[in-house]
């Protein structure tokens, strides 16, 4: 397992962590001040300053990406399916322009939440089938432009509105059905927030192996959790044994960035440099 205590060369900042403190240009400047080498930007943040400018700022700051957030939201009624497909292809094109190593897929839940305007449905099995069909179709496009897809299983609390892929096992089952040869172009993003509780996590990380482990996201699980979306903790403030999970992914050969992704009303209130410096110190002492 890599020693993170000496420096923060393997820290990547998911830019949602400081999304309320400023736009992407402000975040990139803060990363430059702190010597952060990588980010994972969100599509809306890129759109807000324009893709060309985002590409230029990332390049000028010598930043790498650890991923691009995000594609997915596959379930849709027939009227919205073409929109979904086009939108996902655009997301992949943006990821390519930004030189991302993969695009993170938050796969969507029921169609009315995944693609607003879609007819309501309570059929989660149908939503899951649409997710798999959507990934299979997008995978062909992903291969054609060379952009790996990282399926991010989300905590089951998000099954209705964000992702009906809720365990690492479920995500890997999809990967195996679509990409049986383990091409390295389809895999998972392991986010400790979403997966720490899963009794099968360690076995599934071993099953994933190097080819399927495309991204690693960290934050912490607060007790009590006051808001299921926006009360994620700074590493060390909650109950997740992060080094134990990192050791497992690294034992399989994962050697990428440890990406800090914190949606938190609390941390969004604080000055950007304070958040970034806290991320760095916790990366060294807790992750
Ligand atoms: Zn994540």
CA 240 vs. chain centroid, Å, equals 18
Ligand 1 centroid to Cα of residue 115, in Å, is 20
Q: What is the pLDDT of residues 161-189, one digit of tens each?
A: 999 999 999 999 999 999 999 999 999 99
Q: Is the pTM of this model over 0.85?
A: yes
Q: What is the mean pLDDT of residues 99-121?
A: 97
Q: What is the pLDDT of residues 247-279, one digit of tens each?
A: 999 999 999 999 999 999 999 999 999 999 999
Crossing angle, helix 201-212 and helix 242-251, to 10 degrees?
40
Ligand 1 centroid to Cα of residue 261, in Å, is 6
Residue with tokens 């399916």: 81
Ligand 1 centroid to Cα of residue 229, in Å, is 12
Q: What is the mean pLDDT of residues 71-84?
A: 96
Ligand 1 centroid to Cα of residue 189, in Å, is 7
Ligand 1 centroid to Cα of residue 26, in Å, is 22
Query: Would the CA dihedral through 127, 133, 138, 139 be positive or negative?
Result: positive
Residue 127 confidence (pLDDT): 98
List the structure tokens of 151. 């399926």
Residue 77 confidence (pLDDT): 96
Q: How far apart are CA 63 and CA 98, in angstroms?
A: 10
Q: Which residues contact 26 (CB under 8 A, 6 or more apart)?
A: 272
Residue 25, Cβ neighbours under 10 Å: how many? 15
Ligand 1 centroid to Cα of residue 259, in Å, is 8
Ligand 1 centroid to Cα of residue 242, in Å, is 14
pLDDT over 70 for what percent of the chain? 100
- As residues whose CB is below 5 A from the ion ligand 1, the structure lists 191, 217, 261
| CA atoms in the 13 A half-sphere facing the CB of 253 | 9
Ligand 1 centroid to Cα of residue 14, in Å, is 8
What SS3 state is found at 137? helix
**What is the gyration radius of the CA atoms in the chain, in angstroms?**
18
Ligand 1 centroid to Cα of residue 179, in Å, is 22
Q: What is the pLDDT of the chain when averaged over all its residues?
A: 98
Which run of H or E residues covers position 87? Answer: helix 78-97
Ligand 1 centroid to Cα of residue 143, in Å, is 23
Contact 220, 239 (CB under 8 A): yes
Q: What is the pLDDT of residues 182-225, one digit of tens each?
A: 999 999 999 999 999 999 999 999 999 999 999 999 999 999 99
Residue 16 confidence (pLDDT): 98
Ligand 1 centroid to Cα of residue 134, in Å, is 20
């Amino acid at each position: 397992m890599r020693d993170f205590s000496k420096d923060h060369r393997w820290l990547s900042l998911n830019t949602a962590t400081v999304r309320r403190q400023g736009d992407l240009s402000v975040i990139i400047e803060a990363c430059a001040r702190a010597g952060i080498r990588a980010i994972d930007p969100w599509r809306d943040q890129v759109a807000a300053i324009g893709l060309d400018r985002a590409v230029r700022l990332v390049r000028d700051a010598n930043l790498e990406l650890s991923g691009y957030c995000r594609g997915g939201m596959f379930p849709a009624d027939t009227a919205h399916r073409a929109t979904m497909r086009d939108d996902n292809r655009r997301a992949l094109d943006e990821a390519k322009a930004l030189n991302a190593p993969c695009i993170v897929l938050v796969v969507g839940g029921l169609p009315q939440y995944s693609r607003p305007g879609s007819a309501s449905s309570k059929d989660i099995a149908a939503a899951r089938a649409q997710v798999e069909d959507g990934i299979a179709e997008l995978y062909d496009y992903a291969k054609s432009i060379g952009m790996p897809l990282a399926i991010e299983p989300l905590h089951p609390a998000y099954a209705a509105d964000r992702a009906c892929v809720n365990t690492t096992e479920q995500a890997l089952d999809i990967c195996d059905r679509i990409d049986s040869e383990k091409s390295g172009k389809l895999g998972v993003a392991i986010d400790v927030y979403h997966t720490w509780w899963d009794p099968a996590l360690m076995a599934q990380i071993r099953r994933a192996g190097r080819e399927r482990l495309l991204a690693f996201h960290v934050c912490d699980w607060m007790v009590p959790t006051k808001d299921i979306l926006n009360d994620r903790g700074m590493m060390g403030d909650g109950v997740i044994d992060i080094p134990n999970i990192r050791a497992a992914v690294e034992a399989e050969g994962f050697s990428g960035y440890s990406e800090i992704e914190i949606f938190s009303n609390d941390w969004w209130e604080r000055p950007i440099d304070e958040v970034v410096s806290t991320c760095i110190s916790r990366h060294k002492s807790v992750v």
